């Protein structure tokens, strides 16, 4: 019998992507969808592309409406998840696609979000390398049997997957990391904002959260510390571009002394060998966002710029898929003992 599922924040982009994947997942049955201003409407009115679920009626987001399900997904703004999760039964599996439970450091949360930190949950990027005294493992191992799961920030997981293998292998230095991202506006949510209007976006590229202010920075640093960087420093600059969804992240790092280009490539190849959703492309090839749209994949291209002694990693993901909803369901599959790839596409949509 399929597990019963509730999705809070079902009217938004992340909620809609969760529902699109859940609608064809053989182990889950969506029974409840919730929203705020759209409560009382049918799901078909606010997410018309979800034809198979269109008869569901959106209800208010409360612990009472979410309780009683086997699995609850939360696709809510930061600060909104923690009060609800605190009231859900312990037996309920909860996956938070918001930011509330991602950070282990309470001081980092307060510095970047300005409120009191919530309890950290298991981070939902299975492929991330983690170094310890026992060697290098993957975040995947921590997800087995988890009942409280924190889906990643899309920018954060893209940068972390780009740089973590080099840090774990010691072929790049943890300081002077630089990432510049071209991102689609769906990552900012569905709320009406002037800078997200078509007339502001089309024909333009607009940087935001410049100068170390983006809230994904501590999340990136946390993941890179897990990979073995004691005190990573990163300059992180996202740029809005006129594509609905997708991230193209160009990250560079200083090459460690005495390391060859072959050793660099070997580090990433070893880190992601056999991974179903993260792939290092052949030498000389670099991904496009068009190659990953609608797919739960992260494609990486790698080069060594010998003239300046830096490693360059270009990563492409669909921010709503591998960046959010796909990572959430992939991690839930692992937690429940289902095949990790169940219900998740690896083929993109083109053109």
- Which residues are designated catalytic? 154
Burial (0-12, 13-18, 19+ Cβ within 10 Å), 276: middle
Q: How far apart are CA 208 and CA 214, in angstroms?
A: 8
**Helix ranges, the chain (H):** 13-22, 43-46, 63-66, 81-85, 106-113, 140-143, 154-169, 198-201, 217-226, 261-272, 326-336
SS3 state of residue 293: coil
| Residues 142/122, Cβ–Cβ less than 8 Å | yes
What is the side-by-side strand order in the sheet with 3-8?
Answer: 58-60, 28-35, 3-8, 71-74, 93-96, 148-150, 122-123
The distance from CA 183 to its chain's CA centroid, rounded to whole angstroms, is 13
Q: How far apart are CA 60 and CA 207, in angstroms?
A: 35
For residues 135 and 202, is the Cβ–Cβ distance under 8 A? no
How far apart, in whole angstroms, are the C-alpha atoms of residue 346 and residue 351? 16
The answer to whether the beta carbons of residues 151 and 324 sit under 8 Å apart is: yes
Counting Cβ atoms within 10 Å, is residue 199 exposed (0-12), middle (13-18) or buried (19+)? exposed
**Cα 28 to Cα 273: distance, rounded to the nearest angstrom:** 29
């Amino acid at each position: 019998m399929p597990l019963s599922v509730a999705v809070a924040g079902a009217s938004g982009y992340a909620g809609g992507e969760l529902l699109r994947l859940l609608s064809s997942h053989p182990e889950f049955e969506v029974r409840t969808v919730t929203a705020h201003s759209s409560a009382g409407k049918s799901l078909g009115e606010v997410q018309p592309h979800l034809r198979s679920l269109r008869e569901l009626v959106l209800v208010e987001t409360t612990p009472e409406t979410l309780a009683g399900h086997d699995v609850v997904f939360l696709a809510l703004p930061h600060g909104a998840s923690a009060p609800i999760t605190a009231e859900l039964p312990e037996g309920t599996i909860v996956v938070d696609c918001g930011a509330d439970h991602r950070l282990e450091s309470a001081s980092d949360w307060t510095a970047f979000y300005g409120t009191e930190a919530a309890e950290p949950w298991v981070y939902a990027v299975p492929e991330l390398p983690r170094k310890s005294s026992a060697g290098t493992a993957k975040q995947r191992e921590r997800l087995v049997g988890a009942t409280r799961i924190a889906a990643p920030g899309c920018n954060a997981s893209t940068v972390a997957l780009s740089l973590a293998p080099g840090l774990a292998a010691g072929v790049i230095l943890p300081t002077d990391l630089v990432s510049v991202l071209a991102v689609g506006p769906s990552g900012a949510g569905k709320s009406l904002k002037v800078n997200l209007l078509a007339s502001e976006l089309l024909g333009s590229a607009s940087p935001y959260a410049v100068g170390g202010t983006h809230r994904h920075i501590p999340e990136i640093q946390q993941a890179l510390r897990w990979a073995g960087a004691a005190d990573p420093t990163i300059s992180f600059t996202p740029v809005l571009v006129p594509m609905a969804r997708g991230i193209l992240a160009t990250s560079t790092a200083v090459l460690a002394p005495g390391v060859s280009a072959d050793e660099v490539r070997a580090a990433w190849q070893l880190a992601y060998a056999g991974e179903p959703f993260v792939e290092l492309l052949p030498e000389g090839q670099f991904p496009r966002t068009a190659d990953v749209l609608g797919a739960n994949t992260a494609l990486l291209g790698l080069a060594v710029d010998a003239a300046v002694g830096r490693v360059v990693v270009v990563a492409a993901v669909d921010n709503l898929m591998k960046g959010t909803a796909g990572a959430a369901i992939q991690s839930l599959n692992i937690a429940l003992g289902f095949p990790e790839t169940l219900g998740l596409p690896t083929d993109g949509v083109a053109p």
